[in-house]
Amino acid sequence: MPGQYINQIFSKPIMTILRCAWSVLYLWIMMHGASIMIVINERWEEGLIWNKRLPDELIYWDELANVSGAEMLTWAMIVSVLVSIYVSSQPVGGVRVRNEKRLEKIVLCTPYVFAFLVRWLFTTFVTVSQLMGQPRDASWNRFAQFTFALLFKILIMANMSSVCLRAYVKLFGLEVERNIVRISNLNFGDRLSQIFLN
């Protein structure tokens, strides 16, 4: 017979810290995934009399890596997302509080979502315009790489859209539970795993 699980004193704080770390990593990966685009790099072999053009090279380029201060701004937006989720999902004590609108406090997520959308739209536009500008005699390998890049961008947007909808539905459900005085015993880490990991 397996040993019975004993709830240790530090298990909830450790799990909350781990879930925060996974959520931060997820948000960071999604922001960088939105800012990745394909850039065509022309290559030339320099000769004695003339230069010979080599086949072009496709490079996956991260827009955020070349902008100074962009990484710090990204981390600040990620912290604001976590703070807004914490504030809007914070449990109210056993007393019913009337007219307390916590769902509007999710507005701190707006800078992250706006930056994500702007970066995704810009890099997708650049990728599509480069794909449309390819000559007709370009190799199928190049078209396949552009197609894979576009599929990657579509998957990033679908994933972020589902997370945003799930977060809103979970927080809206939490607001409804508060209005009917149903107190949940889930902590902040449990809320994060409901939003990001399910």
Tell me if 62 is assigned to some domain: yes
pLDDT band at 102 (very low <50, low <70, confident <90, very high): low
Report yes or no: 37 and 61 within 8 Å, Cβ to Cβ: yes
Tell me if 31 is assigned to some domain: yes
Q: Quick one: tokens of 186?
A: 């889930």
Report d(CA 131, CA 115) in Å as an integer: 24
**Burial group, residue 146, by CB count within 10 angstroms (0-12, 13-18, 19+):** buried
For 121-171, the pLDDT digits (tens) are 998 898 888 878 777 767 777 778 888 888 999 999 998 888 888 877 777
Rounded percentage of the chain residues whose pLDDT exceeds 90: 7
C-alpha distances in Å from residue 119, one per residue of 81, 99, 116, 189, 194:
17, 37, 5, 28, 26
Tell me if 7 is assigned to some domain: no
Q: Based on the structure, what is the number of domains in the chain?
A: 1
Report d(CA 141, CA 45) in Å as an integer: 22
Query: In whole angstroms, what separates CA 191 from the centre of its chain?
Result: 17
Question: Counting runs of H as helices and runs of E as strands, what totals does the chain give?
Answer: 5, 2
Residue 99, pLDDT above cutoff 60: no
- Give the DSSP H/E element, type plus range, for residue 82: helix 70-89
- Residue 111: CB partners within 8 Å, gap ≥ 6? 77, 80
What is the extent of the structural domain holding 26? Answer: 14-43+53-90+101-197
For 39-89, the pLDDT digits (tens) are 777 777 776 677 777 777 777 888 777 777 888 888 898 888 888 877 776
Tell me if 170 is assigned to some domain: yes
Tell me if 96 is assigned to some domain: no
Q: Quick one: tokens of 114?
A: 């706006």
